[in-house]
Amino acid sequence: MVRYLLLIPALAATLAAAGCGSGSKNDYVQSVNKAEASLQKSMSSLNSIGGSADGAQVATTLEQGGKALDSAADDFSDIKPPDDAKQAHGKIVDGLHKLAGTFRDAAKSAKAAKSPDDLQAAAKVLSAVATSEGAKELQEAQDELTANGYKFKSS
């Protein structure tokens, strides 16, 4: 499970390259960097579940991760991106909500676990994070913003 959770910092870095703002590129970049820092802080609790064999504890932590992703998506949707970032911005919001769903699915699997070996089902769901539709949307957004000249801390 731990190795799948290591994807979270990379995911947060991808999100940083994706975007928030209030009209200008500079404002947008500053908002993205701020949102990324907030998301990374929210997602840091996921690192604590790697060694846990308690399905209920793992499920709770994964549910919190899903809520953090949904909250980040809501924060992003409150920001007005510049015209050349609008399409990518929409992908960020959608991608974050889809990733939150992936975390909720993993939480359901963890909650149903009767033994530590059963937690592998949750790990399997999380292993698909990097190739999930949400992650693909975030990558597309990052590529689009980079092509439009946006530079973020994680880029």
pLDDT of 94? 94
Which residue pairs, CB below 8 angstroms and at least 24 apart, start in 45-51?
A: 46/5, 46/8, 47/5, 47/8, 49/1, 49/5, 50/1, 50/2, 50/5, 51/2
Write the single-letter amino acid at 118: D
The region, left, alpha or beta by phi > 0 then psi within -120 to 50, assigned to residue 23 is left
Residues 6+ apart with CB under 8 A from 134: 94, 95, 96, 97, 98, 99, 100, 101, 102
Question: What mean pLDDT is reported for the chain?
Answer: 76
Instruction: Read off the pLDDT of residues 58-92 as tens digits, 9 standing for 90 and up.
Output: 888 888 889 988 988 888 888 788 999 999 999 99
| Cα-Cα end-to-end distance for the chain | 27
Dist CA 6 CA 21 (whole Å) = 28
What angle (nearest 5°) sits at the alpha carbon of residue 76, between those of residues 71 and 78?
A: 100
Is 82 within 8 Å of 24 (Cβ atoms)?
yes
β strands within the chain, DSSP E: none
pLDDT of 48? 59
Instruction: Read off the pLDDT of residues 6-26 as tens digits, 9 standing for 90 and up.
Output: 445 445 544 544 444 456 888
